[in-house]
Structure 1
Amino acid sequence: MATFNYTAKDMSGNTINGTFEAASKNEVIGLIREKKYIPVDIREERSGTKLNKDIDFFEKKVKLRDLALFCRQFATTLRAGITVTDSLDILKKQSTNKRLKSVVEVLHEDVQKGNALSYAFSKEPKIFPPLLVNMVETGEVSGTLDAVMDKMADHFEKEFKINQKVKSAITYPIVVSVVAVAVVVMLLTFVVPTFVQMFATFNAQLPLPTKILISISETLKSFWYIYILVIGVAIYLYKKYKETPEGRLRVDRIKLNMPVFGDLNTKVAMSRFASNLAVMINSGVDIIQAVEIVQKVVGNDYLKTRLEDVKDGIRKGYGIGMTMEQNGAFPPLVYQMIDVGESSGTLDYVLDKVSDFYETEVNTAISQLTTIIEPLIIVVLGFVVAFILISMLLPMFDLYNIIS
């Protein structure tokens, strides 16, 4: 996938600038025509130099919290009657995030040159998601940019809270698991060899569990680099596989169906899907265009392909809810509620409620996940430690009988 900057004309003859992520120029032409624009110029955005990439690597990333604060401050300055150009000048001085500050400086320069704010945003796809770019474009056309920025601030704050909750739920078991593995490795490399020397001194007959444990200990102590190499290769192959279209699709599908974490991943994805689609529809964005934007921000390639089916269904005249029910990727609550929203003409309101519901469900799922994982880790760790202790104690009983 590459990033293409385009210039097009609408039906009134106005010049439209924007950006698309696509595989080829022909795909970009198709996307432009779907918006009922006439393509004029399409250029592929070239990646920066290696030096710039290295600088980007060390720079502080722009988090959702920073983006929410940026949108909130932007809305406040616009509501106070300050122009877009002056607002950007104020925001670049206030920003504490160096990466965002440098980007806002570029935005300020672009707008000063006469470019639309949405076009300036679209040139920074790694900072500003497609949802924000399209919402800004809608706000510019309707003259409600301040309201749009406020709405986006609320949206990014909500996304940030959900992400933080998920991270906090995952961090605890990861930390405990790492500590547990470290303890076991220390036992195998430092404690077990001491007992092995003692058993060898007395020529003790070793039971099978002790032999297995000693073999693991010796290989870990002598060939530790092989373990590290195998783990490193496994991680490398996994990342490479995940970079392929088939790999991303399969991994993302597994994420939604895996034990324990699958339910949480599904609820997070549904909350994100409903929240983003509600924002777009509430702002008057065309439903097909709204689904296209949601595809880019939903964060799951499997759901992205299923949403392609939803777009096809809409083009054929079917309802969103009916198409979702047929492709089987969405929970019944989602497509049933969407059916109700479509029938009553309150789709944006219903999607907001679905998003709120799944946000609550995410909180519940995180609490349940913590409740399940804590005892599970303790049981697994207890089993491993018990195996080590028993394997060491069994020969000692034999030694005691020999000495007696």
Structure 2
Amino acid sequence: MSSFDYLALDPDGRVLSGSIDAETSSEVQAQLEQIGCVPVTIKRNVSAHLGRLGWRARLTPEPRPAEITALTLDLSMLLRGGVALDEGLVILAQLEDRRWLVRVLEDLHVALSQGNSLSRAVARHPRLFPPLYVKMVEVAEAAGRLEEALSSLAGERQRSEQLRRRFTSALAYPLFLVGAALSVLGFVLIYLIPKFEVALQGFRDRIDPTALLVFNMSAFLNRNLDDIGVAAVALLGLGVLVARIGRERGVWLAVLAHLPVARTVLAHELTVTFCRTLAILVRNGIDISTALRLIRGVIRLPGASTALGRVTADVRQGQRLSEALARHELFPRHVVQMLRVGEEAGELADSAARVATFYEAKLDAALGRVIAVVGPAVMVLVSLLIAWLIISVMTALMSINDLLV
């Protein structure tokens, strides 16, 4: 049993907060709805969960999202081939050589042998199987379409992981160039510039101020090299900690959302994520209200997540999805119009899928422009930095030579 923190609206519209112990977030939602409250956010209390784990469990690595996606796809293929669910889990466990993934498969098999459904079994691992995964499996089991649902889940997770890799590659190249520039700068200042220190003796007051700045920087780095190394390690550790906290709370995405180029990319990514997930959920028989709640857990932008929470509340009060989206201006007008047409024709899933496909192409183009602009810009800055160092040193040496002549 885990602890979940929640925010909910009571029948009078007041915001309630607290924590509930339950097996899954779905049970927390059911408890809140039984007392007439509308859940706004339900999050697993990770710190409370870690406090109950032993040191072995904390050090044991967990499968990565890509491994869970591969597991889902393999299980779907086995079911399509006529293999029973429990037998499929046994086969995958026998073929797997990563012990932590084997442990997950064995736990799922044990849960099934105890009479639990697959949805309840995967719900016991909320860090590996998010609520969206659990709900789709639950609905698919009730409809007898488990293989189809697992295939859809695997496809969507693959698209999401590919999109994440595209974002990472768009940022990795400029960051690599910055790191390379700093490395070259450090090498020049620490190892090369001191070689010319002897030639400067007695001429420091006659050297150009810009060139003298380079030599002073080199002298400072060499005098305090140990302290700078310790400070760099401390800053690196602090940066990793801050980056993790910022990533979990969406701080960095909120910052990027205010930058001109990144704002467009994140807006396209939001549209793709919302429409693609909505299409899959609706196509698998999940009602709009539940689908919106699950999508809200997938959305990474804090502001968009809050707006989607308001859309969910409006839909639960009887408004149509397109009307609620238009009211809160979460997406461009033509996106809302496309969803309205699909909603009126009873083809919401198809319309959402078409919008997602269209914006995936736009997202690829936007990421291409980011890489095409940021990469050369950083390269130019790196070149200018290296050129400044070389020119400064050469100017100083030429000045000394003129004085000697």
Normalised by the size of structure 1, how large is the TM-score? 0.83
Q: Which residue of 1 aligns with 2:383?
A: 382
CA separation of 1:235 and 1:257: change in aligned 2, threshold 3 A: farther
Deviation by residue 1:371-401 (Cα, 9 ceiling, x = unmatched):
1122111111122112212222332332232
CA separation of 1:208 and 1:320: change in aligned 2, threshold 3 A: farther
Structure 1, 328-337 or 188-197: larger mean CA deviation: 328-337
SS of the residue 2:206 aligns to = coil
Deviation by residue 1:222-266 (Cα, 9 ceiling, x = unmatched):
234347526744862784597489x93543322223243333333
| Aligned residues of 1:250 and 1:302 also touching (Cα < 8 A) | no
| Aligned residues of 1:277 and 1:294 also touching (Cα < 8 A) | yes
Q: Which residue of 2 aligns with 1:109?
A: 110
Task: Return the alpha-carbon distance in structure 1 between the equivalents of residues 367 and 256 of structure 2.
Answer: 16
Task: Return the alpha-carbon distance in structure 2 between the equivalents of residues 32 and 120 of structure 1.
Answer: 24
SS of the residue 2:368 aligns to = helix
The offset of 1:18, in angstroms, is 5.7
Deviation by residue 1:71-129 (Cα, 9 ceiling, x = unmatched):
22222322333322222212222235433221011000000000111001001111112
User: Given the alignment of the two structures, is residue 303 of structure 1 paired with residue 293 of structure 2, yes or no?
Assistant: no
User: Given the alignment of the two structures, is residue 62 of structure 1 paired with residue 64 of structure 2, yes or no?
Assistant: yes
Percent pairwise identity? 21
Q: Which residue of 2 aligns with 1:285?
A: 286
| Aligned residues of 1:260 and 1:369 also touching (Cα < 8 A) | yes
SS of the residue 1:257 aligns to = coil
SS of the residue 2:60 aligns to = helix
Q: Which residue of 2 aligns with 1:145?
A: 146
Q: Which residue of 2 aligns with 1:39?
A: none
Q: Which residue of 2 aligns with 1:13?
A: none
Structure 1, 272-281 or 112-121: larger mean CA deviation: 272-281
SS of the residue 2:25 aligns to = strand
The amino acid across from 1:54 in the alignment is L
CA separation of 1:368 and 1:398: change in aligned 2, threshold 3 A: same
Among 19, 26, 33, the alignment partner of 2:24 is 19
| Aligned residues of 1:341 and 1:350 also touching (Cα < 8 A) | yes
| Aligned residues of 2:204 and 2:212 also touching (Cα < 8 A) | no
| Aligned residues of 2:246 and 2:252 also touching (Cα < 8 A) | no
Task: Return the alpha-carbon distance in structure 2 between the equivalents of residues 161 and 249 of structure 1.
Answer: 20
Task: Return the alpha-carbon distance in structure 2 between the equivalents of residues 259 and 202 of structure 1.
Answer: 48
Task: Return the alpha-carbon distance in structure 2 between the equivalents of residues 113 and 390 of structure 1.
Answer: 75
| Aligned residues of 2:253 and 2:301 also touching (Cα < 8 A) | yes
Q: Which residue of 2 aligns with 1:223?
A: 224
Structure 2's unaligned 5+ residue stretches are 6-21, 39-44
Task: Return the alpha-carbon distance in structure 2 between the equivalents of residues 190 and 180 of structure 1.
Answer: 15
Q: Which residue of 2 aligns with 1:94?
A: 95
Structure 1's unaligned 5+ residue stretches are 6-16, 37-42
Q: Which residue of 2 aligns with 1:342?
A: 343
Task: Return the alpha-carbon distance in structure 2 between the equivalents of residues 173 and 255 of structure 1.
Answer: 15
Task: Return the alpha-carbon distance in structure 2 between the equivalents of residues 299 and 280 of structure 1.
Answer: 18
Q: Which residue of 2 aligns with 1:53?
A: 58
What is the CA RMSD across the aligned residues, in angstroms? 3.2
| Aligned residues of 2:296 and 2:305 also touching (Cα < 8 A) | yes
Task: Return the alpha-carbon distance in structure 2 between the equivalents of residues 357 and 115 of structure 1.
Answer: 40
Q: Which residue of 1 aligns with 2:32?
A: 30
Deviation by residue 1:118-160 (Cα, 9 ceiling, x = unmatched):
0010011111122111111001111111111121122122222
Deviation by residue 1:303-344 (Cα, 9 ceiling, x = unmatched):
221211111221233333333334344344433322332233
The offset of 1:202, in angstroms, is 4.2
Deviation by residue 1:41-62 (Cα, 9 ceiling, x = unmatched):
xx99674212210123xx5x32
| Aligned residues of 1:321 and 1:335 also touching (Cα < 8 A) | yes
Q: Which residue of 1 aligns with 2:168?
A: 167
Q: Which residue of 1 aligns with 2:19?
A: none
| Aligned residues of 1:257 and 1:263 also touching (Cα < 8 A) | no
CA separation of 1:294 and 1:307: change in aligned 2, threshold 3 A: same
Normalised by the size of structure 2, how large is the TM-score? 0.82
CA separation of 1:82 and 1:33: change in aligned 2, threshold 3 A: farther
CA separation of 1:244 and 1:393: change in aligned 2, threshold 3 A: closer
SS of the residue 1:141 aligns to = helix
| Aligned residues of 2:177 and 2:382 also touching (Cα < 8 A) | no
CA separation of 1:295 and 1:231: change in aligned 2, threshold 3 A: farther
| Aligned residues of 1:337 and 1:354 also touching (Cα < 8 A) | yes
User: Given the alignment of the two structures, is residue 322 of structure 1 paired with residue 327 of structure 2, yes or no?
Assistant: no
User: Given the alignment of the two structures, is residue 358 of structure 1 paired with residue 359 of structure 2, yes or no?
Assistant: yes
CA separation of 1:249 and 1:102: change in aligned 2, threshold 3 A: closer
Q: How many matched pairs?
A: 378
Deviation by residue 1:22-44 (Cα, 9 ceiling, x = unmatched):
9xx6x7621567899xxxxxx99
Q: Which residue of 1 aligns with 2:9?
A: none
